[in-house]
Structure 1
């Protein structure tokens, strides 16, 4: 049985125009299947973060086609993309981007509040359940700035899961963490894939981490050299 494609890029080209025209992505084509943990590797400046920005629907200025959940999303309106992004994509960044004056629970609830489909009580319950996955429920009422770096990153992963996204995209998620917390975050990612069949796409320059994912897409000078 053919695996369901969660996201597919077809011949993506990207140009920057500052000050001269530079091609940063060249004919990039690949897909990620449901339940797969894929890493995107390459030297700094190879185009991997630019690619993630396009895949996450944040950057719409590219040539080629992008499909999410079997739906062509290239050319869709910014309102529709914003909704799709909130509903189907979870994000984990190198910097956790938590709102410090909000409690941990409120931070996790944000994507659910944005989607505006459930009551606040339901969202609080879901957010607490997500925090339990990471053994962070006892910190729910603390302000985000009272947490350690590793705890903040766990909260940001709980937030990424809030709307049960189709895919989680992460850009150097362990870039700011020491080895212990880095291993912890990676262990959480692996558990999400194994236990919950969560699809993951991770940009990293860490060879050791990439080697532990199901598949690595290698990039060089804006091209995919192995997938």
Structure 2
């Protein structure tokens, strides 16, 4: 079976200029294939979150080439990248970024409403289907601020899936959760990969979390030292 790439970075270099020029990413080349659950691991300050921001197209100030779904996207306009992000990338952060005055259902629908390719009724149906994956459908009409931390993170994962993204990118998704909820989130990620063939790229500093992914890319001092 042909292995298809979800995302690929070639010779990515990144510099900060405050106050002097500092190189924070050095010749980063990596590939995440479709259907893979990959972690990027390394100590704080090694450049893993900086790399994720570039791979997610949110930071375009870098040298090198970035491919999404086998298409070169380096140098594309911010409007194009914004649409591409919404369509092809789902985000799960350490902080859930839910809108408290919106219901759970409305929060999950937001990226779909932004993409504007389906009717509100269709999106409501899809959002409920995503919530069912996480056993959160009975909370659909609650306000986001009525949920526990673990429930909020599950809703944020459902939101990341609303547009059926090519890849879900996650930065320390369990950083704010206790062990029980961390295990729950990791279990959900594994289920998404195994049952729904979702591609996931997760930044973590947690050895235990990383060991449960298909492959771990290890970073040190702005470089990849192992592709797992």
Rounded to whole Å, the distance in 2 between the matches of 1:2 and 1:52 is 26
1:54-203 to 2 correspondences below 5 Å: 54-203=54-203
SS of the residue 2:138 aligns to: helix
The alpha carbon displacement at 1:186 in A equals 0.3
The alpha carbon displacement at 1:2 in A equals 3.0
Instruction: Provide, for residues 7-47 of structure 1, a one-character-per-residue CA deviation record: whole Å limited to 9, x for no partner.
Output: 00000000000011000000000100010000000000000
The alpha carbon displacement at 1:168 in A equals 0.2
Instruction: Provide, for residues 136-170 of structure 1, a one-character-per-residue CA deviation record: whole Å limited to 9, x for no partner.
Output: 00000000000000000000000000000000000
| Residue in structure 1 matched with residue 36 of structure 2 by the alignment | 36
Instruction: Provide, for residues 167-212 of structure 1, a one-character-per-residue CA deviation record: whole Å limited to 9, x for no partner.
Output: 0000000000000000000000000000000000000000001001
| Residue in structure 1 matched with residue 218 of structure 2 by the alignment | 218
SS of the residue 1:84 aligns to: helix
Number of residue pairs aligned between Structure 1 and Structure 2: 227
What is the TM-score normalised by the length of structure 1? 0.99
SS of the residue 2:213 aligns to: coil
Tell me which stretches of 4 or more aligned residues in structure 1 moved more than 6 Å: none
SS of the residue 2:127 aligns to: helix
SS of the residue 1:65 aligns to: strand
Structure 2 gaps of 5+ residues are none
Rounded to whole Å, the distance in 2 between the matches of 1:210 and 1:194 is 17
Rounded to whole Å, the distance in 1 between the matches of 2:37 and 2:124 is 29
What is the TM-score normalised by the length of structure 2? 0.99
Two-structure CA RMSD over aligned residues (Å): 0.4
Rounded to whole Å, the distance in 2 between the matches of 1:32 and 1:53 is 15
Rounded to whole Å, the distance in 2 between the matches of 1:211 and 1:12 is 26
